[in-house]
């Protein structure tokens, strides 16, 4: 019987880890603002040293952002690693770093498992997941909307009935329309670049911009993934939303903030139409959970939907922040991705 499971949740600039014993978390930690390969390697060594001093574990589970067509959690072997590596081309800021930690963790000589962020969106409707490009290209190169932050969207929406929009707002940001616990649409697509404007990622834009810049000789991968979004609008000054809030009187920071808010509002409007109404609006992620001003500015534009905030609860980041007169329930929730990872891994073992 497996008793202790070590979970790695590796992001585009972070490593989070948790240790569970019989589903109870007994240890956790986080390393932020990681930029280089060396940053990740040093952080992993610190985690390794911390674990060796305290407790052992039986198996390792990893959250992997892009699983491609892999529908379910899997035990990691050479073939699985090859697939994770292959789909790095669609998630360059994530899969390569996750694979790095998987390789480093082999020194523990424990079974390793992968749980994919994309699994929640495997059964998206065809009208949602297909892109209007020649179908033979989509089939040949596995081009479709995969969706990301699936573990987060699934976690915060569980148990809610009706029509729900989840807003995962962090360094990476995405939104999902969910009807009766099934995802109908999501803002990220083939890659985590589509959708909302993010801290360093552009989000939605005219594809003609990409063609134009490539003809001019620019590295569009680097520009759109690392130098755009909030960072781009502030002339490379800020890429952390906390810095935007601290410098909100600065003209560039205020513009970046207003653009971020506007695009979230636009998606909420679109998804409300897709769902034919709205019962629940959920904010999660580092920004979604800790920025009362952002939630207030978003919800003030949604008065026509009958959305009304309880200002006091919103300022205190309470769980339910809608007023008693609101026609839509508004929540601030922390995603428990680890809980889903543990649950899915235990299914395989059993």
Catalytic residue numbers, as ranges: 117
* φ, ψ for residue 175, nearest 5 deg: -135, 150
Given its phi and psi angles, is residue 330 left (phi above 0), alpha (psi -120 to 50 degrees) or beta? beta
How far is it between the farthest Cα atoms of the chain? 59
Q: Give the burial string for 120-156 (b: 16+ CB within 10 Å, else e).
A: bbbebeeebbeeeeeeeebeeeebbbbbbbbbbbbbb
Q: CB burial class (10 A; 0-12, 13-18, 19+) of residue 322?
A: buried
Q: What is the separation, in whole angstroms, between the first and last Cα of the chain? A: 9
Instruction: Tell me the residue ranges of DSSP E strands in the chain.
Output: 4-10, 15-21, 24-31, 59-64, 74-75, 112-116, 163-169, 173-179, 182-186, 280-284, 329-332
Q: Give the burial string for 64-77 (b: 16+ CB within 10 Å, else e).
A: bbbbbebeebbebe
Whole-angstrom Cα Rg for the chain: 20
Closest CA to 270 of 329, 181, 326, 204: 204
Distance of CA 7 to the CA centre of its chain: 17
Alpha-carbon span 199 to 269, nearest angstrom: 22
Instruction: Tell me the residue ranges of DSSP E strands in 187-328.
Output: 280-284
């Amino acid at each position: 019987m497996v008793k202790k499971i070590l979970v790695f949740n590796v992001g585009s600039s972070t490593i989070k880890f948790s240790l569970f014993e019989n589903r109870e978390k007994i240890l956790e930690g986080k390393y932020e603002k990681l930029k280089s390969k060396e940053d990740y390697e040093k952080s992993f060594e610190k985690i390794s040293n911390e674990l060796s001093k305290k407790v052992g574990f039986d198996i390792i589970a990893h959250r992997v952002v892009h699983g491609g067509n892999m529908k379910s959690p899997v035990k990691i072997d050479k073939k699985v690693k090859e697939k994770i590596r292959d789909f790095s081309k669609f998630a360059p800021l994530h899969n390569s770093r996750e694979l790095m930690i998987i390789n480093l963790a082999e020194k523990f000589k424990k079974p390793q498992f992968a749980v994919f962020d994309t699994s929640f969106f495997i059964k998206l409707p065809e009208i949602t997941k297909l892109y209007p490009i020649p179908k033979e290209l989509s089939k040949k190169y596995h081009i479709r909307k995969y969706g990301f932050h699936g573990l987060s969207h699934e976690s915060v929406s569980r148990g809610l009935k009706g029509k729900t929009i989840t807003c995962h707002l962090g360094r990476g940001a995405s939104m999902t329309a969910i009807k009766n616990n099934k995802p109908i649409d999501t803002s990220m697509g083939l890659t985590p670049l589509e959708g909302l404007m993010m801290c360093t990622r552009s989000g939605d834009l005219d594809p003609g911009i990409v063609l134009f810049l490539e003809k001019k000789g620019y590295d569009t991968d680097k520009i759109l993934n690392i130098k755009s979004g909030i960072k781009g609008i502030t002339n490379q000054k800020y890429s952390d939303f906390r810095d935007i809030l601290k410098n909100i009187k600065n003209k560039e920071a205020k513009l970046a903030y207003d653009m971020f808010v506007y695009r979230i509002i636009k998606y909420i409007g679109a998804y409300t139409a897709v769902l034919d109404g709205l019962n629940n609006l959920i904010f999660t992620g580092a920004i979604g959970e800790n920025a009362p001003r952002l939630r207030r500015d978003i919800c003030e534009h949604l008065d026509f939907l009958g959305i009304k905030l309880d200002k006091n609860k919103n300022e205190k980041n309470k769980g339910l922040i809608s007023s008693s007169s609101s026609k839509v329930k508004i929540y601030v929730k922390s995603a428990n991705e680890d809980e889903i990872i543990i649950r899915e891994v235990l299914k395989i073992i059993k």
